[in-house]
Structure 1
């Protein structure tokens, strides 16, 4: 799961008029303005990229944008939603630009009048057009969950799709999707696209400008379906493996115990030791595929589970997916490697209390203890602080801190494992 925090949009609905700039003062005692916050995604082209008649420019990059060159006449501009038959905005200007407040997918209709004469109408259609879907960088699980909805958008609209994502993730998808162009954020050329859509975790989007449904209510991955206006039912991505061979001949299980904030960890002090011992007693080799053998912050540090074989390190994701594809099953947390196991088609035991089960992909082996405080991540009234490694908004600095996973017992996890077809491998005497 991501820690990418996307800032709220700037002006809600803007109408920019072309007026002469005021003369700059000769000198000023005011402090220099602060640098604007860094954008989570590459910015659209400054001017709409498609030209219509009579000095009208338009596109659907960062919402519906309409530019009007000065013709000396007052023009009426209307933006409508074709599917709901709602007029969303209407104004009159001689020159300037109109930008819709909604930045997610809407099938817009643009209409422009001069007096009583309609001089321009354009109904959104992405068929055979260049469309860009942008995903945040630095997140594994989010990208795996969101990418299939970009594919579904291409299939629905018949567009020529470009997906922008972290460079290190592109090899997972490029060979299985040769009809999609993959770029990193630095390679985006915003002036070429008919429409652009940004998919992210919009924590502060209280007005619903960047997402029609809050991701905390519909599920982290399914939120992309709502943003892109496609069927939100989940589907795993298709992965490309450089080497699809079995890494070891014996039957084995992969585990991953590390994450990016302590609330995601399985905080039961004996949980992992008991599970590793249980798996080995039932004939499995237990392979830990975390990136780091030790991770934490301040006085809180988490180590590779005792008894597990160490396959940690900075290894290509395709290699991780190779280990997962041949594993009998995977045991992990609400983190990127669980999403990778799901994408690889591996039965996944997912241990999490700080997220609600609807937050992640569907698995019959999800483990949560409802007797404990739980699901704070999916509470829209609570704002996740990605800078606080010990974030626990309801119980922090009390004896109940992290009880959401501390009270998940090894007995619960063993019960989920026993339900997996084919378990056990070969019980030892």
Structure 2
């Protein structure tokens, strides 16, 4: 967000004065989907203080000050570290912290040597908004447990904004949390707002205290919200949790949003499906799309799998996953949903480092090839480039991170799952 002022600041600081008329237009940083993922705050801070002062924590710490009898003196502190983050004098206007993630702020406003207002951030009983980018499945499932920790830690009245399709997964299980879509949220009613996302260009760490590529996709929400980063599953409620078919079965999902996420080994999926069927499993493909790609590159669900693709509610996908013997997928949303349903997940991924996703003993990666570019802070993911491969694009090594993951390596990983048959004869 551009921060402008008629009152120059000579010292380096954690905040910058802003005009009271300045509107928030979002961040230049972007989420994986390319959407800014930022809930713009209301033009005027939502909380009223004495002497016409207004403040809130809907875009970091924001304070607006009317014209008075003299200069205002504003000081913003971090009570967790004891550091003074910012200090300035101005006749009128506004101040906004540069840090937009959770910080235990305290600020004071003085005039003519007298303290007019001292306020310490206290979320207890307050209306608080956590905004998740819409259009993401795995990211929201990964991040939501940290919102639950946040609500419990602060005892606030929490509203979560997320994609409409995900709300049925959580609404019944977390009755103390209010779930809304972006269109339903009214920013002016909140004391504080926190935006969760993957901020690629956040070199100043304004929206995240540390780069998400270093701590993992899911744990970045913990750092943004200031809660314990220990991994936790969300609880999912199913109105119908019956078994969809009597026979034993495995769920798979072979599609993703960019080619680097695919398992690019030629014939790998077909060999795997044949192997699973030989062991007596029905193989159910639960991708949303049977065919996906861009330009001249298109991917089809594996031959021999049973097609359960389509715009099916996520709760129905969750029902299939709950009763599956295990799930085989990629670093994508359905793997996160399978993890949430406590189904063993065999994850085939080379472009992400294992720290990026939830812990699974069945992670498949080949360290003998180029790998983990997604978590390399030296490269920039381009969500518009379906064939993104930052190190080897256009060369024979493109997508080698998964092209050199063999079907046998995946099969050997599956053989380690408890209860998996050791021979076709045992599958009868």
Distance in 2, matches of 1:358 and 1:229, equals 19
TM-score (norm 2): 0.92
**Offset at residue 129 of structure 1 (A):** 0.4
Q: Deviations over 1:380-416 (max 9, x none)?
A: 1111011111001101111101000000011111111
Equivalences for residues 151-170 of structure 1 within 5 A = 151-170=148-167
* Structure 2 residue matching 1:150: 3-state secondary structure: helix
The ranges of structure 1 where at least 4 consecutive aligned residues each deviate by more than 4 angstroms after the TM superposition are 36-39
Q: Deviations over 1:303-326 (max 9, x none)?
A: 111111111111000000000000
Residue 178 of structure 2 aligns with which residue? Answer: 181
* Structure 1 residue matching 2:269: 3-state secondary structure: helix
Q: Deviations over 1:30-80 (max 9, x none)?
A: xxxxxx988533311101111111221111001000111111211110000
Establish whether residue 341 from structure 1 lines up as the match of residue 333 from structure 2: no
Distance in 2, matches of 1:203 and 1:10, equals 18
Distance in 2, matches of 1:103 and 1:218, equals 19
**Change in 2 beyond 3 A, CA 1:54/1:398:** same
Residue 81 of structure 1 aligns with which residue? Answer: 78
Residue 251 of structure 2 aligns with which residue? Answer: 254
The RMSD of aligned alpha carbons is 1.7
Establish whether residue 228 from structure 1 lines up as the match of residue 225 from structure 2: yes
- Asked if 2 retains the 8 angstrom alpha-carbon contact of 1:296 and 1:302, the reply is yes
Distance in 2, matches of 1:16 and 1:330, equals 51
**Change in 2 beyond 3 A, CA 1:370/1:73:** same
TM-score (norm 1): 0.92
- Asked if 1 retains the 8 angstrom alpha-carbon contact of 2:15 and 2:86, the reply is no
* Structure 1 residue matching 2:74: 3-state secondary structure: strand
- Asked if 2 retains the 8 angstrom alpha-carbon contact of 1:42 and 1:188, the reply is no
- Asked if 2 retains the 8 angstrom alpha-carbon contact of 1:290 and 1:312, the reply is yes
Distance in 1, matches of 2:36 and 2:371, equals 32
Task: Identify which of 104, 107, 116 aligns with 1:107.
Answer: 104
Residue 15 of structure 1 aligns with which residue? Answer: 17
Residue 332 of structure 1 aligns with which residue? Answer: 329
**Change in 2 beyond 3 A, CA 1:426/1:241:** farther
Distance in 1, matches of 2:292 and 2:58, equals 40
**Offset at residue 119 of structure 1 (A):** 1.7
**Change in 2 beyond 3 A, CA 1:54/1:425:** farther
Distance in 1, matches of 2:65 and 2:421, equals 69
* Structure 1 residue matching 2:288: 3-state secondary structure: coil
Task: Identify which of 353, 374, 386 aligns with 2:350.
Answer: 353
Distance in 2, matches of 1:425 and 1:302, equals 31
Distance in 2, matches of 1:348 and 1:286, equals 15
User: Any stretches of 5+ residues in structure 2 without a counterpart?
Assistant: 4-13, 22-26, 29-34
Residue 291 of structure 1 aligns with which residue? Answer: 288
Distance in 2, matches of 1:287 and 1:16, equals 55
- Asked if 2 retains the 8 angstrom alpha-carbon contact of 1:41 and 1:185, the reply is no
Residue 49 of structure 1 aligns with which residue? Answer: 46
Distance in 2, matches of 1:280 and 1:17, equals 66
Distance in 2, matches of 1:17 and 1:341, equals 47
Residue 37 of structure 2 aligns with which residue? Answer: 40
- Asked if 1 retains the 8 angstrom alpha-carbon contact of 2:20 and 2:64, the reply is no
* Structure 2 residue matching 1:167: 3-state secondary structure: coil
Equivalent residue pairs, number? 406
- Asked if 1 retains the 8 angstrom alpha-carbon contact of 2:327 and 2:346, the reply is yes
Establish whether residue 61 from structure 1 lines up as the match of residue 61 from structure 2: no
Establish whether residue 271 from structure 1 lines up as the match of residue 283 from structure 2: no
Equivalences for residues 202-213 of structure 1 within 5 A = 202-213=199-210
- Asked if 2 retains the 8 angstrom alpha-carbon contact of 1:60 and 1:194, the reply is yes
* Structure 2 residue matching 1:54: 3-state secondary structure: helix
Residue 3 of structure 1 aligns with which residue? Answer: none
User: Any stretches of 5+ residues in structure 1 without a counterpart?
Assistant: 1-8, 20-35
Residue 23 of structure 1 aligns with which residue? Answer: none
Distance in 2, matches of 1:40 and 1:352, equals 25
Distance in 1, matches of 2:154 and 2:328, equals 38
Residue 22 of structure 1 aligns with which residue? Answer: none
- Asked if 2 retains the 8 angstrom alpha-carbon contact of 1:17 and 1:93, the reply is no
Residue 194 of structure 2 aligns with which residue? Answer: 197
